[in-house]
Structures are given as C-alpha cells and as structure tokens.
Amino acid sequence: MCSMVKTEELYYQDAYLKEFEGKVLSCEKGKGDSFLVVLDRTAFFPEQGGQSSDIGSISDAVVTHVSITDGIITHVTDRELPVGECVKGIIDFDHRFSNMQQHTGEHIFSGIVNSKFGYDNVGFHLSDSEVTMDYNGVLSDDDIHEIEALVNRAIWENVEVKCEFPAKEILDGLQYRSKKELTGDVRIVTVTGYDTCACCAPHVARTGEIGLLKVVSCQNYKGGVRVSILCGKRALEYINDQLQVVGQLTGLLTTGYDRIVSSVKKLSDENYALKGELSDCREKLIEYELDSIDKNKENVFLKKEAGLDGNLMRKVVNALIETRSGYCGVFSGDDNAGYKYIIATKGEGKDLKALQNMLREEFGAKGGGSSAMVQGSMGPVNVADVIKKCESF
C-alpha cells in the first residue's frame, strides 16, 4: 500500500529544484472538484512549521495546496491524475523563493533576539500576505530598530546558510533553537555567525539572497510581542507602496516629505477649530429655533441634518422638556440613510420604554434607555410618519 511508503522529499536535496518527475501512487476525490494526489517523490514543500505550502502544477493539473501526514505528502489538484503514471511536477518558484527569503530572514531576526535579549520565538506564521513572529518578552521601538539594522547587516554580509541532518552524536553536542522537543532525524539550519535552529523548510543558500528585511509592525501580545516582517521582493513592494502614499501626500499638501507630519498636524488643528466654530453656530441656530416654537405645544420633535453631535442633541432635548410635559425629541439623519434619535420627557404618566418598543416594532428602531430618556437609531424611513406616531403616542 502506498500509505506505508513515505514520500521522497526532494526539496531537502535541493531547495532550488524547480522541476522533477515522479510516479502517481494514489489519486482520490477531495472536497468539491479537487483531487488528492500522492507521488512517490516530490519537490513540493508541504504546509508545516508555520509556513504555507508550495504551489505549482503536476502535468496538466494545478496544485493549490500540499500537506504532510506521517511522512506521506498529499497534493491538492484541480483534476484527476492516473495512478501509475509518471508525471512532471513544476514548482511556482517565485512563490517558493519568496517563502525562502521570508523564512531565512525570520531565522536571523529570531537568532539575534535570542542571543541579544534571551527571548524565544514561541509562534511563527508565514503566509502569502504576512510573516509574524511571537516572542516571550517585550521589545521596545529602539530594540526593534536595532535588531532590524543587525539583520540587514547579516544579509549584506552574504554569509552561508547550511541545512543538514547531523548525526546523533554531533546533534547531541549542538546548541540550537527549537520550539519543541525533537526525536529522530533533526534538520538543522545554520546561518553562519547568527543562528542555529531546527527547521524543516527550504532556505536560501546565502543571506544576500534575502535582499532586505523590513519590520512592518510590533505589538504587545500575550506578555511578549508579535513582530511582523517582510523580506526581499515583498519588502521592496511594501516600501514602494509607502513611498507612493508619501508622494501623494506631498502633492496634496504642497510640502516636502520631511514636513508631512507637521503639515497634517496643522490641518488637524485647523479642522478641530472649525468643527468647534461650526458646533457653536449650530447651537445658536437651534436656540433661535427653540425660541420660535409654541411654548404651549406639549410634544415637540425636531428633524435635523445628518451628523448632528450627540451632545448637542441631548442639550436640545433637555431644553425642550424643561417647559413641556410631553415627549420631546430630535431625529438626525435623512430618509434614505436612516436616523439616530434622542427622546426624553419629564411628564408624569409618560412611558418612554413603551414608546421605544413602539419604535422598535413599527419602524425597526434599535436602542434603549430609561423611563426619562431613550436613544437609538433606525434605517431608511419616512421620518414624518415616525414623528406623527410619536406625537400621538
């Protein structure tokens, strides 16, 4: 049975192998329109150790994912392959090489963190969109900048990266990083002068092939930190995207890149001041409006433009109920987008919770409050109908 035969792992023989030949040992129906193909040998690296799998093709079948269980490597394909047939596998090497850059960069970064700060890498994730490492200790912004500089120095030194399965007597004498206790054959990846770590993934042959490492973010996580990095082409694309944003901002602000922060702060301060002036003007206009309302009118509901400040809405409602015993409220919004509202009363025998239930049942309102004041929101509605219903409640 093919299930008793472990797949020959060609990626351990040559991480740069792009094409290979193998024999189909089994092909079973997978989920949906997929098939699960097992070969006698493969250069496709399966998902493991926190890293996403290789992709590519086998003959005319597209390989979308690869997994390993008990030494058997399974390829997820989009079509069936005949059992017993000799096939040609082709690795998507751009994808493979990007993963090699990211993973080797991570090794250098984690090795420096361990040697300099004594922290362990307790979590690692390498997908097509991100690379994250979790460390069991806190790193400051200055620490991160220093580590990033040291990693890039290691990259530019172009030192050798060795991947090997040492004999047991040699392995027993090695000091190497590992997230768990290992038995049997252990693959050791050594970045000369920077790190020695147990790892199953393909790596670049020399650090210069990484090109560049850029830290994207660092945040507190489970008592330590989670660091996100990008290497090689991914790092270059990230930096280019950031520079494009900076270029657009310098154009919009008609300033140099070194004055963007001060220019944005100036705009923010001006915007804050203008919002304050607008709020004062709105408040004065509403005061005029309140003065013009018949003082003998028991129930008063106002419809205002969208975006009215909640504090101002509450202030208006409180002013209305000071001289009235009915329900008073403010609806802010428009019929197409919906409204937010605040309704209050000081009248005896008035039941705001019942009014809120009515709004919920008849107009789909969401919200809550007390017997003295309720607030909430509702979707698209004819607010004239809502106000009419509230006035007659």
Answer yes or no: do 206 and 155 share one domain.
Answer: yes
My answer on whether 18 and 120 are in the same domain is no
Q: In 10 A of CB 12, how many CB atoms? A: 16
In a domain, 169, yes or no: yes
Asked whether residue 78 falls in the same domain as residue 163, the answer is no
At 65, which CATH number? Answer: 2.40.30.130
Last residue of a domain, one of 91, 120, 153: 91
Residues 107 and 153 grouped into a single domain? yes
pLDDT exceeds 60 at position 3: no
Q: What would the mean pLDDT of 6-14 be, rounded to a whole number?
A: 96
Task: Average the pLDDT over each of 20-29, 97-106, 364-373 and give the range with the smallest value.
Answer: 364-373
Residue that terminates a domain, selected from 74, 91, 108: 91
Residue that terminates a domain, selected from 31, 59, 91 = 91
Lowest mean pLDDT, pick from 78-92, 141-155, 286-300: 286-300
Query: Is 172 part of any domain?
Result: yes
* pLDDT tens string 137-178: 999 999 999 999 999 999 999 999 999 999 988 988 889 998
Claim to verify: residue 107 and residue 195 sit in the same structural domain: yes
pTM: predicted TM-score of the whole model, two decimal places? 0.74
| CATH classification at residue 112 | 3.30.980.10
| Overall average pLDDT of the 105-132 stretch | 95
Tokens of 257: 């890149």
Look at residue 254 in the predicted model and tell me its pLDDT: 86
**Do 102 and 178 lie in a common domain?**
yes
What's residue 4's pLDDT?
Answer: 55
Q: In three state form, how does the secondary structure of 206-275 look?
A: EHHHHCCEEEEEEEEECCEEEEEEEEHHHHHHHHHHHHHHHHHHHHHHCCCHHHHHHHHHHHHHHHHHHH
Greatest Cα pair distance in the chain: 98
Shared domain check, 227 and 198: yes
Question: Could you list the residue range(s) of the whole structural domain that residue 297 is in?
Answer: 293-391
Are both 33 and 133 inside the same structural domain? no
Strands 61-69 and 213-221: unpaired
**91 pLDDT more than 70:** yes
User: Which of 263, 327, 277, 280 has its CA nearest to residue 299?
Assistant: 327
Strand order in the sheet with 224-231: 121-126, 131-135, 224-231, 213-221
- Given a cut of 90, whether residue 377 has pLDDT beyond it is yes
pLDDT at 73 exceeding the cut of 60: yes
Q: What's the rounded Cα separation, in Å, for the pair 281 and 275?
A: 10
Query: Could you tell me if residue 287 is inside a domain?
Result: no
- Rg of the chain over Cα atoms, rounded to whole angstroms, equals 33
Domain count, the chain: 3
